[in-house]
Structures are given as C-alpha cells and as structure tokens.
Chain A
C-alpha cells in the first residue's frame, strides 16, 4: 500500500516523515525563505548601488539594514485601494495566486538527503521537476489576472506580454532540463542530486545550464527580460494599478521565484546540497549556491539593458529553442551509447 500523505493516498512519495515532522519542516522552509526575501531586496539595492557608483540605501539603521523593514511597514500601512475599472474579486485574487504558487513550489527544493528520520526537503515526489513546471504555470495566471482585472491598458499589455513570454520560454526551459533528467534517469530532485556524486551536471550539461539560466530570467520576469513590467513603456505593466501589500505580494513572489529558479538550477546542475564538510552542513551549501546564483541575477540586472519585444520573441524561438533541442538530441545519443 502506498504511503499516505495526511491520510490521503495522493501519490507515491519516495520517503514520508511523521506528520508532525512534515509540519515542522514546512514551517522551517517557509520561514527561512520568507526571511531571505527582505534580505535579498536589501542586498539587491545595495549591490545595484555599488554597480552604479552610488551608496544604495544607508539611512535606516546601521548600513541601511532596516530598510526592508521600513519598506514592508510602509506597504502594510497603505490603503488597500481598488481602481474603479477593476474587476472586484479577480483583482484581489491575482496577487494571492502568485504568492501561493511560489510558496508551494518551495516544497520540492531539496536541502539535504534523508538523515535519521528527517528528509531535508518538503516532499520528494517522483514527478519532481514537473511539479515545479505545474506551479510556475499556475503562477502565470496571477500575473495575467492581475493585468486583465486591473482595467488599465498598461496592465493589460503587460499581462499579454507575460503570456507570450511564458509560452515561448517555458519550452526551452523544459528542454534544457531534459538532458539532466536523461543523464540521471529520474525526475525526482533528490535522485538527481544523488546522481551528481561523481561530477556536477554543469560540466557535461553546460549548454543546458546556460539555456536554463536565460529561460529562468525570462520566466521570473527579471531584467533583461522584464518586458511585462517594462517601466519605460508600460509604467509598471501588470502591477500598474496595484498598491500596498497587494503590490508587495507581487514583489515578494517575484523574489521568491528568483530564489526558486536559483534553487532548481543549483539542484539540477550544481550538485544541490553537495559540498565538503559533515552532512549537517548540507542545507548551508544549498542555500549558499542559491544565494550566489541570485546575486548573479542581480548582477545581470545591473549589466544588461532590456530587450526589445521582437528581439525577445525571435531569440526565444529561433535561437534558444533549436539549441535546446539539439542539446537534448546529443545527450540522448550519448546516454544510449555510453
């Protein structure tokens, strides 16, 4: 009989902890990542400041450390305003949808193997990476509904752009991970990390890694692919009409997605939790890799200008997709031959 998750025969899982451990570790993962987000916001503004030859935030608290708290306090105390032309229920639902799907995706990031009675991850499902794709496609409806329900042309155009962008880059992203999946012979993220004991997949799958990073920028709407919220043309795209903590939720979800994409990249290509030292250090290595990749995201934001819309589309379909397909074909042949 398959293991029961909360009394439901939902799916086969490779390892199930006691229910109370599950609850505790969900809380731990949630709290750690959620407290990383304000730090990331501060880090981004500080780093951007340095990249642009200025100080960045340095007024609130020592070295501007309290800036994110002040920002969140401001967002929380703002009036929850809804423009006249907005669709009532959907307008409120959109930010919630975005943040819920981001938080749910955290469950599959592995921070370590099973140690004693505890698996150092939310849940290890055999569908693994498909779970990530499923929730990233639900997160998209948050952006789309937000843009559509706002009743503003800027929001609408931003939402439509994000739809086109998502379809174009999701395929390349999926194909870039297929090479890793074929080499590891499993979709489960824990198994994929374990298969990297000899060599991290970033070496044999360097093409896949680069494609995944580019597609990851596009999927998280980060510069240089931030066309859905291009502030020079669309004010703030899908987020134009949002204010207060509703805007804050979109913002939080964006940063959380950045951490998740970094986490998936570390898991699939950079050996996940692997690193020198005792097994107790595993989560530290994983977090470290995630943060390094996130800093790379910020670095790129400071370095590259925004794409033009037609450049974005032709790059995705005419360059990224063929390379990703070729990578899959070559990997398939090599996996069968060796």
Chain B
C-alpha cells in the first residue's frame, strides 16, 4: 500500500514537473506546477511531514501559484511559437544543464544527508512532523537561520514596494503619461 502510494505520488510529481517545461501554453504550465505541488504534498504526507505538506499547499498552491495563474491568465493563454534557438545555444544549453545537475548532485551527496540510499529508521518518533515539533525546531534549534530567512523576505518585500513606487513616480513626470 505504501509503495503504491509512493509510486503514484512520485510519477505524478515527476510527470507534472516535466509538463511544466514541455507544455507550450504558459497557463497550462502553471497548472501543471500546481498539480506537481499537490503530488509533492502527498509524498510529504507519506514521510509523516504533515505540517510541511499543509504549508506547501497553503503557501505555494494557495498563494504563490494563484499569483502566477493570475499573471499567466492575463498575459499568457496564447500558444507560444516554438522558440528557435541559435545554434550556439543549442550546444551550450545542454552542457550547462548537465553541469548544473552534476553540481547539485555533488552538493546533495556531500552534505549531511547521509541517510540517502539507506532504508531509514523503522520507527518514527510520535509527534514527528506535527506543527509542535516543527515549531520547536524552528524556534529553538534553528532560531537564527529562521529569523535570517524572515528578515530576508522582509527586505525583499520592502524592496518590491520601493521599486514599484519609484516607477510610478517616473511615469507621473512623463508629459502625457498615465498617472498611477
């Protein structure tokens, strides 16, 4: 049962991820990304990470992807002509992709993820993956990293507002330009 659920989730997630890249219509591409996230949340559930699964759906499928869909529905929706790349890019592209893959593989294998490829523990401690457990980790063990990340997001949000505001002022100065 567990294996079946895993393979359903894995095939769904990978298939949807491929669809994101392959599909020509940007709107369908975004929808495929949403499907990918839902399958990914299912895999998180199998790993007992229920809080992570819920957060993935609420934050990414529920908020971030809504914005993407919003933009894609307004400006996209047209079948893009197949992008004919220049011959140089056709050679350099795959090389860069393979290089990136190797770099990520080295990073993953060389990191502390030593349990990769092993069966993993038979018994998961009770309460693993609940909001309480995640909260304790974030507020006690990894407080500085957590706060640094939230500070980074705050800076990004403020920067976005500043940039958007500045552009609006520029437009006002233009003669005959649309104000705000």
Listed in ascending order, the chain A residues whose CB lies under 8 Å from chain B are: 1-2, 6-12, 125-127, 130-131, 133-134, 136-138, 140-141, 144-145, 148, 156, 159-160, 163-164, 166-167, 170, 187
Contact = CB atoms under 8 A, between A and B. Distances in A.
A10 B46 CA distance: 5
Contact of A134 (B34, B62, B129, B130): B62
B124 A2 contact: yes
A144 B70 CA distance: 9
B19 interface: no
Interface residues of B, number: 36
Contact of A8 (B2, B57, B127): B2
Contacts of B13: none
B130 A127 contact: yes
B132 interface: yes
B45 A10 contact: yes
B5 A131 contact: no
Nearest to B123: A1
A163 B73 CA distance: 11
Nearest to B38: A138
B21 interface: no
B69 A144 contact: yes
Contacts of A160: 70, 73-74
Q: Which 3 A-B pairs have the closest CB atoms?
A: A137-B62, A130-B54, A134-B57
Contacts of A11: 45, 48, 50, 129
Contact of B129 (A1, A12, A144, A167): A12
Contact of B66 (A126, A167, A187): A167
B51 A9 contact: no
B73 A134 contact: no
A306 to B, nearest CB: 22
B39 interface: no
B48 A134 contact: no
Nearest to A144: B69
A126 B132 contact: yes
Given A2-B126, A10-B45, A187-B131, 8 more contacts: A9-B124, A11-B45, A11-B129, A126-B132, A130-B51, A134-B41, A141-B61, A164-B70
Contacts of B124: 1-2, 9
A310 B50 CA distance: 37
Nearest to A141: B34
B50 A156 contact: no
B62 A133 contact: yes
Given A8-B46, A167-B63, A170-B63, A159 B54 contact: no
6 contacts: A1-B124, A7-B1, A12-B50, A131-B54, A133-B58, A148-B77
Contacts of B58: 130, 133-134, 137
A2 B124 CA distance: 7
B26 to A, nearest CB: 12
Contact of A156 (B73, B123, B132): B73
B128 interface: yes
A134 B73 CA distance: 22
B55 interface: yes
A123 B67 CA distance: 31
A198 B69 CA distance: 45
A125 B50 contact: yes
Given A159-B73, A160-B73, A126 B62 contact: no
